[in-house]
Structure 1
Amino acid sequence: MKICVFGAGAIGGYMGVKLADAGADVSLVARGPHLAAMQANGLRLIEESGETTVQVTASDDPSELGPQDYIIVTLKAHSVPPVVEKMQPLIGPNTTIVSGVNGVPWWYFHKLGGDLEATRLASVDPGDAQWNGFGPDNVLGCVVYPAAEVIEPGVIKHIEGNRFSLGEPDGSKSERAMALSKALSAAGLKAPVRPRIRDEIWVKLWGNLSFNPISALTHATLDVLCTDPGTRAVARGMMVEAQEIAETLGVKFPIDVDRRIDGGAAVGAHRTSMWQDLDQGRPMEIDALVASVQELGHLTNTPTPTIDTVLALIQLRARSAGLY
């Protein structure tokens, strides 16, 4: 089984080290100083239990790696459409694209059934780049839960979590899903195959949709954002609107809104990824996390006044910073 992790930053690098250390045939696509450090010194992972350094096959040129059985995509959502053509040398007749990307996935309406079956989402897949370049039949869903960071080129620090939930768009326990689950489990990662992967996508998205833009706008950490009456009310309004959209599409939420917000507060003084991107001058994941939900609101005829307001504010903030 050949596995390529495309976008071997914090999360992708964490997966790469765990897979390589378990003996998997894994390669990594990265760039810049991080890639140079991996090629020169291997990739080092710092965990609470200790440190691991592995020598990995790493490149910025997919044509050097050849066709893969699995491509695990761990880029930020807006970074994927521009590199679909570059990824083609990795894709063979039986390649599975594992979509480990935050937000509403481009394949959301593939095999969902109903009136919106096969609907394309312009907010996350402009020009249908992924739909046409990957093909929805080749995709396997993945919800990423771990937290990690690149603390210096070639060095990743694992913070918490080791679960990567997998799921077919049609809900089946396919041979390809079970085989990847087995490989990830052998590497010490949790990889359950879920029959309702979209439910998990929405529970994670609930927080990303609201906490990320509000924190970037206010510079409030999660513990403050989720307990201040004003910002909690704004987050709750966004989440209620999102829940109505999701339930219209058949999603079942295992927890209620207030418990989800309380869970965010319990994380503590955490700076969300969108706030970190703003501070560090990196493009922000606004479309996949927020604009996509607005687009789903339009498709389901669900009003989203709170989401619309926060989206307008964070888009302007990002444009002002040259990050959108």
Structure 2
Amino acid sequence: MRYIIIGAGAVGGAIGGRLFAAGHEVVLVARGAHLAALRDGGLRLAVPDGSLTLPIPAVGGPEAVELRPGDVLVLSVKTQDSTALLESWAGRPVAGGGTAGEELPLVCAQNAVENERLALRRFRHVYGMCVWLPATHLEPGRVAAFGSPLTGILHVGRYPSGTDRTAERISADLEASAFLAPVVPDVMRWKYAKLLANLPNALEAVCEPVEGEESRGLYRRVIAEGRAVLDAAGIAYTPPEEERRVRGDRIRLLDVEGAERGGGSSWQSLARGTGSIEADHLNGEITLLARLHGIAAPVNETLQRVANAFARERRAPGSMSASDLLDLVGRRARH
């Protein structure tokens, strides 16, 4: 199986780098300065036990890859970038006949819960992946992953449900590449639990460090509100104790030489000044479900709106006080 990693940032770079280092065939798909650096010097993957320089082939898009049977497409971009990429890859011909959308498996190695639905409109064989992989895209060509002794936990399953031989083979390859990759028949239950865990990403991105009681209170409220909305919608999610049992002591977060962890994915988007953030598909998912079911979600709605404004205006992460954010939440709740 050859793995084509569409989006070789923090998560995609770590997955592709570990697979390549374990002897699997990999192609990285990137753009701009990151693509140029990958072509010039390979992927530099910094991990707790050292740094790897990996000469992985890198391309700028589907037109530069001759697809073949046995390829696995791994989509690893933010949800707001999924639709255009899915469209550009689905119609590409596969050697021997057919198109990628008809013939090849596509794995959504992404946060949020919308990607799989977007993919299933264009791809026949879609797999969800619940990603727990602490990593950072440091600079063009360089990614750091902080987990040890395993790099991450990647639950895999067919979408909308079930397992098959392809999921088992992907899992086996990942588990031979420094990951724990359980094959599960209910992958979306795991992804909805990850959605809950990701709801504070926007809080971390826009607000001062979560240290004071106001910030900690907001942290608790955003998750409690998310649980209440999922419960009202009748959507199942893995309970925290089950997640902790799977994770156990398999992964510890360690320092990586020359790399600071910084914040989560939303914080990283603001720090890099990308102009976009995934709040519409994290907090925005809760906002949508709350509106559909006629209940209030003022914390998630406020965080969605504020995070989008930060990204649009390219404001620095952590530049809003918890008090100001609480004031906005209160206004939204009274509206």
Normalising by the residue count of structure 1, what TM-score does the alignment of the two structures yield?
0.79
Q: Name 1:197's counterpart in structure 2.
A: 187
CA 1:214–1:84 in 2, change beyond 3 Å: closer, same or farther?
same
SS at match of 2:115: coil
- Please say if 1:218 is aligned against 2:207: yes
Alpha carbons of structure 1 residues 321 and 53: separation in structure 2 relative to 1, 3 Å? closer
Which residue type is aligned with residue 97 of structure 1? L
Give yes or no for contact 2:112–2:282 (8 Å, CA) kept in 1.
yes
State the Cα distance separating 1:189 from its structure 2 match.
1.8
Instruction: Tell me what 1:230 maps to.
Output: 214
Which of the residues 92, 98, 102 maps onto 1:93?
Answer: 102
1:153 corresponds in structure 2 to 140
Q: Distance in 2 between matches of 1:218 and 1:146?
A: 23
- Mapped to 1, the partners of 2:237 and 2:19 lie a distance apart of 33
Structure 2 counterpart of 1:77, which letter?
T
Alignment gaps of 5+ in structure 2? 94-99, 245-251, 254-260, 317-335
The equivalent of 2:240 in structure 1 is 255
**Cross-structure match for 2:29:** 29
Note if contact 2:273-2:311 (Cα within 8 Å) is conserved in structure 1: no
Cα distance, 1:59–1:171 mapped onto 2, change above 3 Å: same
| 1:7 and 1:74 in contact (8 A); partners too | yes
CA deviations 1:183-235 (Å, max 9, x no partner) are 111222211112322232122222321x2222233232x4x1xxx32222223
Q: Residues 156, 311 of structure 1: CA spacing in aligned structure 2 closer, same or farther, 3 A cutoff?
A: closer
2:75 corresponds to which of 48, 73, 76? 73
What is the distance in 1 between the residues matched to 2:311 and 2:141?
Answer: 29
Deviation at 1:308, TM superposition (A): 2.3
Count of residue pairs brought into register by the alignment: 287
Taking the aligned partners of 2:157 and 2:56, their CA distance within structure 1 comes to: 27
Contact 1:107 1:131 in 2 (8 A): yes
Letter in 1 for 2:196: W
Counterpart of 2:282 in 1: which secondary structure?
Answer: helix
Identify the residue that residue 178 of structure 1 maps to in structure 2: 168
Normalization by structure 2: what TM-score?
0.76
Find the aligned partners of 1:155 and 1:242 in 2 and give their Cα distance. 34
Q: Which amino acid is 1:193 matched to?
A: V
Cα distance in structure 2, aligned partners of 1:230 and 1:218 = 11
Task: Go from structure 1 to structure 2 and tell me whether the alpha carbon gap of 1:46 and 1:216 turns closer, same or farther (over 3 Å shift).
Answer: closer
- Residues 309, 61 of structure 1: alpha-carbon distance in 2 compared, 3 angstrom cutoff: closer
Q: CA RMSD in A?
A: 2.7
Q: Matches of residues 303-314 of structure 1 in structure 2 within 5 Å?
A: 303-314=296-307
